[in-house]
Structure 1
Amino acid sequence: MNDIIEKLRETPTTCVSDAMQGLNNLHPDIKPLKEEYKIVGRAFTVKTAAGDNFYVLKAIREAKPGDILVIDAKGDTYRAIAGDFVVGMAQTLGIQGIVVDGVIRDVMGIKNLNFPVFCKGTTVAASNKVGIGETNVPISCGGVTVHPNDIIIGDVDGVVVIPQTIEQDVLNKAVKKMKKDQEREESVLKSRESVIQYLDNILSK
């Protein structure tokens, strides 16, 4: 399983998405705070009420080093699911990244941590701690079902979920697609004539 994750680190999210025909991509509003962020790891899922981060704290305590917190915050964009202090705790305990269908705050502080956060944006309002939610259960995040231990892969193009049941097949297809794309670039982009020939072949169909 770890071998699959290591191989996916070298694979673009676009190829992984293509391997599943685009069906497991989180909503494109969920993007990294920094373009250079790349995450690949197992999901530790969090279901929480909008504007409540008690179960986010619980998940930070329960997750294993290398896990990725995937948080169903109901798409709420008014109250932040975390700020730089909460994110700093996650980083200190070895969590690899956070993906949230919601927003964060203290954006400059989080960027200074250089810790991968993928979210819908930022806000100034803090969360409550009422304590409504669950951890490590199936959730919906960004319009996609996420089960605990599904593989999460994210980069500047977005976030994709790979269900455990098909992860080897998805890896094989994604690697094949990546190689095919590389071969196409080498063949087509080598000259003006090869680009024209490629376009003419497509447009004539």
Structure 2
Amino acid sequence: MTSISEQKAAVLKQYEAYASVSAATAHEAMGRRGALDSAIKPIRHGMRVLGRAFTCRCDPNDNLTLHAALKMAQPGDVLVCDGGGFTEQGMFGDVMASCAVGRGLAGLVVDGGVRDSETISQIGFPVFSRAICIKGAVKETLGQLQIPVVVGGVLVAPGDLVIGDDDGVCVVPASEVGPLAIKCVEREAKETRFREALLAGKATWDMLNLDALLKAKGVASPFGS
């Protein structure tokens, strides 16, 4: 019988397999599932986030629950906050980002607004949000923590894998992390070979066999028979 620490180590090892996997690759390999709304993007170009989800839900214009999440989350966790899509707030800023870095957290994904984007970028903490807004938040209502939340139109449960880069964010259910890793690695290798062939002069039309696609639809090829 494996211990809880051994189980956690096994999960972290699975996550490591995604170190070079893009959010788009995970989305495609998962049958085009898991992609958050395209409006949720990194606050600065080049940010990447990878880790297990620690979820919370905040009332609009209130970040008390997010402060609780900062204290409760474990190193390597990604805070995933349902902010109700409320953009006229800066519910997370440089002070909270400093705390997150000090506690070893991997990033924040929030369906809401944040502020202090320049300083957060300098601190080096990955933040993905729906908006950037200078308006502050209050600390009045304690919401729920470590429960399934809907962020960017996607259901996210505690422990799910979060992958984010310049293209956006993809969430992989914890139960699919292991099997999907193999598909992602295979897809990345295939696309590398594909790009090499294209750079050598091949056309996407031929590589994708689009003549056959048109023929199956009963449409004549623009290049003749």
Whether TM-score is above 0.5 comes out as yes
Q: Separation in 1 of the partners of 2:208 and 2:179?
A: 33
Q: CA deviation at 1:143?
A: 0.5
Question: Given that residues 25 and 161 in structure 1 are in contact (C-alpha distance below 8 angstroms), is that contact kept between their aligned partners in structure 2?
Answer: yes
1:72 partnered with 2:93: no
Q: CA deviation at 1:179?
A: 1.3
Structure 2 counterparts to residues 171-182 of structure 1, below 5 A: 171-182=181-192
Q: CA deviation at 1:201?
A: 3.2
1:201 partnered with 2:209: yes
Q: Which amino acid letter does the alignment assign opposite residue 97 of structure 2?
A: V
Report the secondary structure of 1:135's partner residue. coil
Segment of structure 1 superposing worse, 171-180 or 70-79:
171-180
Structure 2 counterparts to residues 111-130 of structure 1, below 5 A: 111-130=121-140
Question: Given that residues 81 and 127 in structure 1 are in contact (C-alpha distance below 8 angstroms), is that contact kept between their aligned partners in structure 2?
Answer: yes
Structure 1 unaligned segments of length 5 or more: list them: none
Question: Given that residues 48 and 126 in structure 2 are in contact (C-alpha distance below 8 angstroms), is that contact kept between their aligned partners in structure 1?
Answer: yes
Report the secondary structure of 1:130's partner residue. coil
Structure 2 unaligned segments of length 5 or more: list them: 1-10, 214-225
| Paired-residue identity, % | 31
Q: CA deviation at 1:203?
A: 3.8
The one-character-per-residue Cα deviations of 1:63-83 (angstroms, maximum 9, x if unpaired) are 001110000000001111111
Find 1:156's aligned residue among 166, 181, 205.
Answer: 166
Q: Separation in 2 of the partners of 1:128 and 1:173?
A: 44
1:186 maps to which residue?
Answer: 196
Q: Return the structure number with greater relative CO, CA threshold 8 A, min gap 6.
A: 1
Q: Separation in 2 of the partners of 1:70 and 1:30?
A: 12
Question: Given that residues 18 and 181 in structure 2 are in contact (C-alpha distance below 8 angstroms), is that contact kept between their aligned partners in structure 1?
Answer: yes
1:60 maps to which residue?
Answer: 70
Q: Which amino acid letter does the alignment assign opposite residue 179 of structure 2?
A: D
1:133 partnered with 2:143: yes
Q: How many residues align?
A: 203
Q: Separation in 2 of the partners of 1:200 and 1:110?
A: 42
1:43 partnered with 2:48: no
Question: What's the TM-score once normalised by structure 2's chain length?
Answer: 0.85
Q: CA deviation at 1:172?
A: 1.4
Question: Given that residues 79 and 126 in structure 1 are in contact (C-alpha distance below 8 angstroms), is that contact kept between their aligned partners in structure 2?
Answer: yes
The one-character-per-residue Cα deviations of 1:180-201 (angstroms, maximum 9, x if unpaired) are 111212233312xx32761683
Calculate the aligned-residue CA RMSD, in Å: 1.6
Structure 2 counterparts to residues 20-39 of structure 1, below 5 A: 20-39=30-49
Question: What's the TM-score once normalised by structure 1's chain length?
Answer: 0.93
Q: CA deviation at 1:18?
A: 0.4
- Structure 1 runs, 4 residues or longer, greater than 6 Å off: none
Determine which structure has more spread, i.e. the larger CA radius of gyration: 2
Report the secondary structure of 2:141's partner residue. coil
Structure 1 residues 198 and 134: alpha-carbon distance in aligned structure 2, compared to 1, 3 A threshold: same
Q: Separation in 1 of the partners of 2:149 and 2:101?
A: 23
Q: Separation in 1 of the partners of 2:204 and 2:140?
A: 62
Q: CA deviation at 1:56?
A: 0.3
Q: Separation in 2 of the partners of 1:202 and 1:17?
A: 23
Q: CA deviation at 1:138?
A: 0.7
